[in-house]
Amino acid sequence: MMRFVPRLLLLLALCFAPLSTFTTNDQIAGLRSPLPGFTLIKGEQIPFLHHHPTSTIRVYVFHDNVPVPIPFQIDERDRRDRWVLDDAGQSQISTEFGVNHFLVMMNRDLGQRGDRARLPMGATTWGEIRVGEEPEPLGFAYVGIFQDPPPLACPGCVYARYDPQTDRVYAERYALEFRGPLPSHVAFVHQLGEFGTNTIAGVRASGEVRFLGGLLKLRRTEADIHTEDVSYRQGPVRAIRRARYWIPLPLNLRTTGRVDLLFYRDFVEGTAMVKLKVPPRLVLADGELRTYFDFLGLQGARLWLDNEPLREQIDGQMSAAEQALAGRPARWAALVLPDGRTVWVVVRLEGALQRLDQRLYFADITKTNGEVGGLPLLGFEFTGVNRLETGVHRLSVFAGILDSADSREIQRTVNVFLSPPVVSVVELSR
């Protein structure tokens, strides 16, 4: 338990590290505007692709009943359920598609349901992918196997690029830079390759664990997090950055962990597996954790929690209404900016982690002593550590900017990440 709370703090801080941007302006005829996010299809859902070379696979969508190729990516998990990464910039993914492979696409690239007879000639097998429930799907895609594969949608193109030399990420709508274990630069940009203007003072985290009713306390912050090595994978749809982190503990112990940050064209995901060997209640332990973004100058923005918007603007002073929302139970929170965009953050806890009490952490303050940031602080607090059970549980954090302040669009966006759409795959008749 002494190791678990610092480890959970470490994972939360690192999963909070990315901040990203979304656009939902694309229109596909016959469908609602595609939501931000991605579709991840397990290899076991696509058995007709098994034992075929990954190089023979292509993905198409229909626009106005015309099939067009779209970017896609094939990733793989190993026996420890971790993403297989590149080695010295070379892909280590198995070249024969199997149950451990995943097909990755952007939801924005999905299309209409189409006529199988209009799909390109030369495929030995086709499968129809439906994202979302049948009454109102997000969209469709068609995956095929070719003996003589046609050209890719855009050979050499990527939606997000990781540069291991500078520890920077460049994407079509954002840029990040890491200096130390956590990002020091997050910017919104208009095209891939731009670095932009920084919008954060930092990513903050703190955690405390108490043993024997408080007789023994252990407290750690983001300043205690160290990093040792970094590996990555680069693909056309997303880039994955993995780093090994550690936090020192008493008695020359330390807690370690690996965290994957996944960078897409218009959003970033932080994901990690949390392993708990001993239930905290058996050692009379409890604690709380806090992790949040320390923004730079979002004056004029308004806080939005669930469907309850805050009318007062961020101005460096906590109003009574702001104080009333701070500490409320919340799985997501948003900031509506003066320019009509919306910054949002979603935390998805799985397994026993859902027993944690998750509440909004928010402060609208003007820092003193020459410090910058605090306009505002936005994140979450977690308590109830003593309710957790043994096991391995997944933790995911998402953050982004939506090009809308409409409450329906905000809710639809966060729902995609809180409850990912159901994906079905059907092999089409030959």
Q: Which of 44, 406, 420, 380 is nearest to 206 (CA)?
A: 380
Q: Which of 364, 367, 373 is nearest to 314 (CA)?
A: 364
pLDDT at residue 18, rounded to an integer: 60
Cα gap 111→423, rounded to integer Å? 14
Per the CB < 8 A criterion, the answer to whether 159 and 236 are in contact is yes
Q: Which of 90, 95, 60, 45 is nearest to 74 (CA)?
A: 95
pLDDT at residue 252, rounded to an integer: 74
- Domain boundaries along the sequence of the chain: 38-153+421-427
Please give the radius of gyration of the chain, using alpha carbons only, rounded to the nearest integer: 22
pLDDT by residue for the chain (430 residues), tens only, comes to 445 556 666 666 766 666 544 333 333 333 344 467 899 999 999 999 999 999 999 999 999 999 999 999 999 999 888 899 987 677 789 999 999 999 999 999 999 999 999 999 999 999 999 999 988 899 999 999 999 999 999 888 999 999 999 999 999 888 999 987 888 898 888 889 999 989 899 888 888 888 777 778 888 888 888 887 789 999 999 999 998 888 887 767 777 778 889 999 888 898 877 777 777 776 667 888 899 999 998 889 999 987 677 888 999 999 999 999 999 999 999 999 888 878 888 999 888 888 889 999 999 998 877 788 889 999 999 998 888 788 888 888 888 777 788 888 888 889 989 989 999 999 997 6
Edge-to-edge strand list for the sheet holding 66-69: 66-69, 57-63, 139-146, 123-131, 423-427
Quote the pTM value: 0.87
Cα gap 247→420, rounded to integer Å? 32
Q: Which of 153, 128, 135, 165 is nearest to 48 (CA)?
A: 128
pLDDT at residue 283, rounded to an integer: 65
Pairing of strands 342-349, 391-402: antiparallel
Residues in Cβ contact with 414 at an 8 Å cutoff, skipping those fewer than 6 apart: 332, 334, 344, 346
Q: Is 319 exposed, middle or buried (0-12, 13-18, 19+ CB in 10 A)?
A: middle
pLDDT at residue 384, rounded to an integer: 86
Q: Which of 253, 255, 227, 254 is nearest to 241 (CA)?
A: 227
Q: Which residue has the tokens 């003996």?
A: 147
Residues in Cβ contact with 417 at an 8 Å cutoff, skipping those fewer than 6 apart: 37, 346, 348, 396, 398
